[in-house]
């Protein structure tokens, strides 16, 4: 419908007649719009239950449609005209029959955190950015929600943050979500453990990072892991299992016989296997302290010196576990003074790092 009548342009010399027709046209248009608006209002009043509560734009509400008992939502209130509330849910603007504003008790009542499945989407990503797909048994999970889930057959619960949906909201995977683990390294270890157990290995009771494959009481292979660094040895059958594991966790580099692993140089020959820790020991952070400060042996450490002291104790701890058990007693003595260390203790740590 147009405000001007194009048929009158250049076809009549009576401007008064044209103006009369245009006025009549505008009047008819205004009448039709008014009548249409009134029909819509009457339809809404007869089809929509009036809300007794006053809502504000942006309020999140659960709502019911007419003739159904199932709660939908949450949706966002767009506006309220008298007692009729308009709610946007997904990409549609709806007029709910009954609306209920979201409160903390409602969320606690409606949300359930029982996760029933898990799949890592990409093992090539960095652990801190690793995304996991989980299946949730309710459709109320939102982005940035903090939830917990567990792997099938495991009693250990994992805390994660929801990144978004993993599938369409109406598809077969509508209850699947991409999530980010709060502790990526821990989650990666759990995924490795789950895969190894499925391959037939058992976890060592002495070291949770070591897994053993046995057949009829005979050891076929041993697998060790430190975060995302793997070390394994075994017979041909065990190596076939490792090939399956590498399909699940893609290796960036594979080395044999002579290689470096978590600070050790592993050397293998006819006489046996020899771990060499000298490269790590050479790279220890050898700090320097001013002579004037060294004379103040019984003074408390400054904040920077305290940080240096903690770093030195951590480095020595790894060295003691790997190749310097002779420093174990001294390390224990240093580690008991992390909060109250003096300049003398810092000098001791420097001295041990030069041994």
Which pLDDT score, from 0 to 100, does residue 221 have? 92
User: Is the pLDDT score of 121 beyond 50?
Assistant: no
241 contacts 200 by C-beta, under 8 angstroms: yes
Three-state SS letters, 13-36: CCHHHHHHHHHHHHHHHHHHHHHH
Q: Which residue has the higher pLDDT, 146 or 347?
A: 347
Instruction: Give residue 211's pLDDT.
Output: 93
pLDDT given at position 266: 84
Report the pLDDT averaged over residues 123-147. Answer: 51
Per-residue model confidence (pLDDT) at position 24: 81
The band of 117, judged by pLDDT with boundaries at 50, 70 and 90, is very low
CA separation for the pair 260, 188 (Å, rounded): 22
pLDDT at 135 over 70: no
Q: How confident is the model at residue 286 (pLDDT cuts 50, 70, 90)?
A: low
Range 282-308 average pLDDT: 81
Band of pLDDT at residue 107, cut at 50, 70 and 90: very low
pLDDT classification of 120: cutoffs 50, 70, 90? very low
Higher pLDDT, 175 or 231: 231
Q: Compute the average pLDDT of residues 63-77.
A: 74
- Give the confidence band of 4 by pLDDT, cuts at 50, 70, 90: low
Give percent of the chain above pLDDT 90: 1
Give the three-state DSSP class for 43: helix
Q: Identify the sign of the CA torsion 62, 64, 65, 70.
A: positive
Find, among 46, 42, 24, the residue nearest to 34 by Cα.
Answer: 42
What confidence score (pLDDT) does residue 139 get? 47
Q: Give me the pLDDT at residue 106, please.
A: 45
**Residue 140 binned pLDDT confidence (cut-offs 50, 70, 90):** low
Residue 129 pLDDT > 60: no
Classify residue 345 by burial, with Cβ atoms within 10 Å: 0-12, 13-18, 19+.
buried
Whether CATH 1.20.1260 fits 48-108: no
pLDDT (mean) for 63-92: 72
Q: Which residue has the higher pLDDT, 59 or 185?
A: 59
* Distance separating alpha carbons of residues 309 and 349, to the nearest angstrom: 7
End-to-end Cα spacing for the chain: 94
Q: What is the mean pLDDT of residues 213-234?
A: 87
- The Cα–Cα gap between 220 and 235 comes to 6
- pLDDT (mean) for 74-97: 69
Question: Is the model more confident about 199 or about 13?
Answer: 199
- Please give the mean pLDDT across all residues of the chain: 72
Residue 141's nearest CA partner among 169, 118, 122 is 169
Compute the average pLDDT of residues 15-44.
Answer: 74
- Output the pLDDT for position 92: 52
- Above 60 in pLDDT, residue 315? yes
Per-residue pLDDT averaged across 262-281, rounded?
80
């Amino acid at each position: 419908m147009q405000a001007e009548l194009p048929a009158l342009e250049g076809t009549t010399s009576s401007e008064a007649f044209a103006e009369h027709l245009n006025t009549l046209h505008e009047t008819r248009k205004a009448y039709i719009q008014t009548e249409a608006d009134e029909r819509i209002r009457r339809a809404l009043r007869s089809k929509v239950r009036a809300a007794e509560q006053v809502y504000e734009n942006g309020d999140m509400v659960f709502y019911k449609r007419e003739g159904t008992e199932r709660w939908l939502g949450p949706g966002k209130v767009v506006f309220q005209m008298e007692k009729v509330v308009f709610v946007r849910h997904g990409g549609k603007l709806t007029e709910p029959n009954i609306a209920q504003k979201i409160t903390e008790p409602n969320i606690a009542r409606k949300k359930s955190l029982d996760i029933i499945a898990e799949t890592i989407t990409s093992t090539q990503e960095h652990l801190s950015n690793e995304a996991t797909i989980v299946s949730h048994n309710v459709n109320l999970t939102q982005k940035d929600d903090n939830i917990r889930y567990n792997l099938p057959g495991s009693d250990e619960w994992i805390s994660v943050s929801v990144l978004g949906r993993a599938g369409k909201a109406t598809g077969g995977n509508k209850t699947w979500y991409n999530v980010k683990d709060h502790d990526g390294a821990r989650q990666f270890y759990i995924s490795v453990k789950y895969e190894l157990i499925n391959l037939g290995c058992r976890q060592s009771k002495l070291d949770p990072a070591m897994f053993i494959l046995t057949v009829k009481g005979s050891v076929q292979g041993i697998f060790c892991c430190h975060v995302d660094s793997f070390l394994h040895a075994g017979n041909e059958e065990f190596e076939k299992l490792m090939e399956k594991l590498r399909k699940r966790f893609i290796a960036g580099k594979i080395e044999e016989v002579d290689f470096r692993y978590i600070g050790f140089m592993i050397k293998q020959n006819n006489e046996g296997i020899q771990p060499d820790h000298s490269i790590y020991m050479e790279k220890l952070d050898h700090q320097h302290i001013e002579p004037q400060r060294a004379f103040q042996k019984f003074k408390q450490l400054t904040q920077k010196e305290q940080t240096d002291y903690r770093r030195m104790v951590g480095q020595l701890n790894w060295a003691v576990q790997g190749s310097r058990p002779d420093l174990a007693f001294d390390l224990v003595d240093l580690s008991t003074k992390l909060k109250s260390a003096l300049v003398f203790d810092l000098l001791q740590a420097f001295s041990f790092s030069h041994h």
